[in-house]
Copies of this chain bind each other. A is one copy, B any other.
Amino acid sequence: MDNRSIGVFDSGLGGLTAVREMLRILPDEQIVYFGDTGRVPYGSRSPKIITQYARQDAAFLMSKNVKAIISACGTVSSVAGSILAKELSVPFTGVLEPTARAAAAATINGRIGVIATNATVNSGSFQHALHAISPKLQVFARSCPLFVPIVESGFMLDHPDITKEVAETYLAPLRNEKVDTVILGCTHYPILKSIIGSVMGQDVRLIDSGRETALFCRSLLAENHLLAESNHGSCSFFVSDGMEDFSRIAGIFLQEDIHSSVQLVDIEKYEGAIS
């Protein structure tokens, strides 16, 4: 038993979709969430900068005495995941491997679609992770650059029909390739799951990176004898730039009204070692 917190970070607030799954799957755990809202988005930055930011984010969480760290950020997981796994003194996982394992287990015809941001698609990270599991898997990746702003502005709530048309243009190539499994490779995409599902059809399985990472985290904690006692669940939020509408956006991602306070962090201070 270990009642210390689990640290979760993301480039912004999208990682809260992973927190939502953790609250369901690990209800007894304390979660410390850091969203780097002052430097979001990471996806367009260089690998050097992304690695520097990821080290600072992890260093901040380590200062909160966490027992494990999860990067809910597809970009960090793709670019700096293996570096963090090596450097950190506590168990670490990104979203990449748990998600790739789940997709490889789910597919029947061996044809897997990946939808994600430009940076994640261009990095080829999901393709590599899937081919490491089985070189026979055929992977078809598409970036969907409008999905993040559609979610963050709440456009899908007022205009589901246009959102579905946008989804159809992005997903048509995956339908043509007859994939039977699609990885939602960006933390924002689970919010559009029902629209994506209706476009792909009910026979296509959607793999939610947040959910798979939460399940993986439960195994990781169990293996390391780090699970918390019952009834210790809680969640605290930290961001690197003030957000007037934190509650509104966090509500979209957590899909519940939250009135939690959020605290501001000067993330540039956490430059040093991370272990």
Contact = CB atoms under 8 A, between A and B. Distances in A.
A162 B159 contact: no
Given A37-B44, A45-B241, A46-B242, A159 B169 contact: yes
Contacts of A39: 39
Contacts of A44: 37, 40, 241, 243
Interface string A145-181: 1101110110100110010011001000000000000
Contacts of A143: 153
Interface residues of A, number: 27
Contacts of A150: 146
Interface of A: 37-40, 44-46, 49, 118, 143, 145-146, 148-150, 152-153, 155, 158-159, 162, 165-166, 169, 241-243
Contacts of A149: 145-146, 148-149
A146 B145 contact: no
A140 B148 CA distance: 26
A241 B146 contact: no
Contact of A165 (B38, B49, B165): B165
Contacts of A45: 38, 241
Given A37-B44, A46-B241, A145-B155, 16 more contacts: A38-B45, A38-B49, A39-B39, A40-B44, A44-B241, A45-B241, A145-B149, A146-B146, A146-B149, A146-B150, A146-B153, A148-B149, A149-B149, A162-B162, A162-B165, A165-B165
